[in-house]
């Protein structure tokens, strides 16, 4: 991936299951428990070989998705590698 960081990587099965195609635009929304809306908008979907049920995106572009409470209790390291999200087709995608 070169020249663009507002991307989310998903495998072909996950794309098909969600009715998405490589290049579609989606919003990523955190499934948080504190009632705050955490969302990043208009990310481009990129087909990539990842395990089913997983996706990946760049930081700091997706930092807004990480709740402050989602951290290790001993080290206080944020849980950047384990943030549950929903994917919703972007309103600006035109589909």
For the chain, which domains are there? 7-93 (2.40.40.20)
Question: How confident is the model over 15-24, as pLDDT tens digits?
Answer: 999 999 999 9
Q: What is the mean pLDDT of the chain?
A: 91
Q: What pTM, to 2 d.p., does this model score?
A: 0.86
pLDDT reported for residue 80: 82
pLDDT digits (tens, 9 = 90+) for 30-74: 988 888 899 999 999 999 999 999 999 999 999 999 988 888 889
DSSP sequence for 24-88: -EEEEEE--SSS---EEEEEEEEE----TT--EE-TTTTGGGS-TT-B-TTT--B-TT---EEEE
The predicted model gives 72-83 an average pLDDT of 86
């Amino acid at each position: 991936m070169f020249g663009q960081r507002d991307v989310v990587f998903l495998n072909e099965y996950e794309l098909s299951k969600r009715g998405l195609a490589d290049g579609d635009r989606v919003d990523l929304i955190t499934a948080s428990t504190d009632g705050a809306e955490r969302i990043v908008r208009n990310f481009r979907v990129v087909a990539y070989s990842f395990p089913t049920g997983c996706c990946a995106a760049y930081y700091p572009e997706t930092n807004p998705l990480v709740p402050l409470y989602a951290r290790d209790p001993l080290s206080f390291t944020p849980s950047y590698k384990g943030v549950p999200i929903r994917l919703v087709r972007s309103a600006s995608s035109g589909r």
